[in-house]
Structure 1
Amino acid sequence: MTEPENRCRLVLIVPDVADIEEQAKIVEDALKGGDVASVIVPQYALNDGDFQKHAERLVPVIQAAGAAALIAGDTRVIGRAKADGVHITGPATEIAEAIDRYADKLIVGGGNAADRHHALEIGEERPDYIFFGKLDGDIKPEAHPKNLALAEWWASMIEIPCIVMGGTDPASALAVAETGAEFVALRLAVFGEPARAPSVVAEINALLDEKAPRFED
């Protein structure tokens, strides 16, 4: 799999599916569609024990496709599931604790950066990335304008990469790319119709290949 090194790349957010095998197949199929930088695995409403089982099933599937597996939820799951990193949805203090604990071992990123002040607080902790939006924030076809504005501001002045939550329309990936963000996160845009997930991933990569701005070296 070739990796587009100089444009915005896709991050997938695993859909909320209770059946482990069904969830694993949906994710595995989607990853056959083309380049995906990483996959975030949220806990949703699963208890810690069930989340552990889901993570242990999903992580090898994600890694086999060449993507990084990031766990969003009970951090005890990360080591047992042999994930590549942790996605923190809480404030800067929570990210700081995770960095202290996992620095140099795992990818640590995330953040509840609803405005510039909180984004800078998170940035001071030097995470591997910052996330603009919520993991389940894809409630409209387009990406949230506030997140796009934050990403454009951030990308113009901060070296820490950012991931921006897109909308339910796959084309929202391009709007994110045009902010200068390094990554666009999609959930329902890809998994809304699971059978179409591989072709949607391929379409998004083709769109970004053709129209996304290129980063300067």
Structure 2
Amino acid sequence: MTTQNPPTRLMLVTPPVADADAMAFKLMQAQAGGDLAAVLLRLTDGDERSRIERVKRLAGPVQGANVALVVEDSALVAARGGADGVHLTGGPEAIAEARSSLKGERIIGAGALRARHDAMDVGEAGVDYVMFGDPRPDGSLPPLAAVIERAGWWAEIFETPCVAYAPDPESVAALVETGAEFIALGAWAFEEGRDIRALVAEANEAIAARIARKAAR
């Protein structure tokens, strides 16, 4: 997920997944909408074996499309399921533990960063990306203006890539303008009645429009 001065790309953040086959179909639809960099896979509760099997079921079709698969909160499930990395919300201690177990072989990302010093702490711990704007444990979201400010601040100063979490389709264009390396379309993109293919296409159009404006300057 990391390149020299990369253009902004998209990440999908799934709702908690119990049915891997149903999610595989949704992701196939999303991939038809255009470029995707990564899928952050969230899993419902279950025994370790069943969670690993869900990751294995999704790793093939996701990675086969040259998209990285990152699993939320379990380095063990991510590694044994064949995912490309793990997304952690437990702070520097969880990151240190994951780095020890994964031995630099997989992506480690960090979310649940509520203050600037939280982001700097995990950055110093050696993560591959930081995420701003993701839902809090109670499901609430930080104000969009705060996410725009935080993503713009980070993208301007730090080399570690950042992901700006979009709370809805209307916010994507504003988040693209922050210069964040990745824009995350959240669980809302997978809701019944949403055209996820169209959402991905429209987000990529917003990215392309920003690139065109920069090139014209």
Relative to the length of structure 2, the TM-score reads: 0.85
Does the 8 Å CA contact 1:88/1:94 hold for their aligned counterparts? yes
Superposed counterparts of 1:10-29, under 5 Å: 10-29=10-29
Identity of aligned residues (%): 33
Q: Structure 1 residues 57 and 72 mapped into 2: Cα distance closer, same or farther (>3 Å)?
A: same
Q: Which residue of 1 aligns with 2:51?
A: 51
Relative to the length of structure 1, the TM-score reads: 0.85
Output the CA distance in 1 between the equivalents of 2:66 and 2:24: 15
Q: Which residue of 1 aligns with 2:170?
A: 171
Superposed counterparts of 1:65-76, under 5 Å: 65-76=65-76
1:95 is aligned with what amino acid? I
Output the CA distance in 2 between the equivalents of 1:189 and 1:70: 18
Cα distance, 1:197 vs. partner? 1.0
Output the CA distance in 2 between the equivalents of 1:206 and 1:143: 24
Does the 8 Å CA contact 2:18/2:44 hold for their aligned counterparts? no
Cα distance, 1:135 vs. partner? 5.3
Q: Structure 1 residues 167 and 111 mapped into 2: Cα distance closer, same or farther (>3 Å)?
A: closer
Cα distance, 1:123 vs. partner? 1.2
Output the CA distance in 2 between the equivalents of 1:110 and 1:176: 18
Determine if the alignment matches structure 1 residue 33 to structure 2 residue 14. no
Does the 8 Å CA contact 2:17/2:44 hold for their aligned counterparts? no
Determine if the alignment matches structure 1 residue 211 to structure 2 residue 210. yes
Q: Which residue of 1 aligns with 2:199?
A: 200
Root-mean-square deviation over aligned CA pairs: 2.5
Q: Structure 1 residues 82 and 18 mapped into 2: Cα distance closer, same or farther (>3 Å)?
A: closer
Q: Note the alpha carbon deviations across 1:104-155, whole angstroms, 9 max, x for none.
A: 3111111331101111111111211111133578867x96332222111111
Q: Structure 1 residues 71 and 135 mapped into 2: Cα distance closer, same or farther (>3 Å)?
A: farther
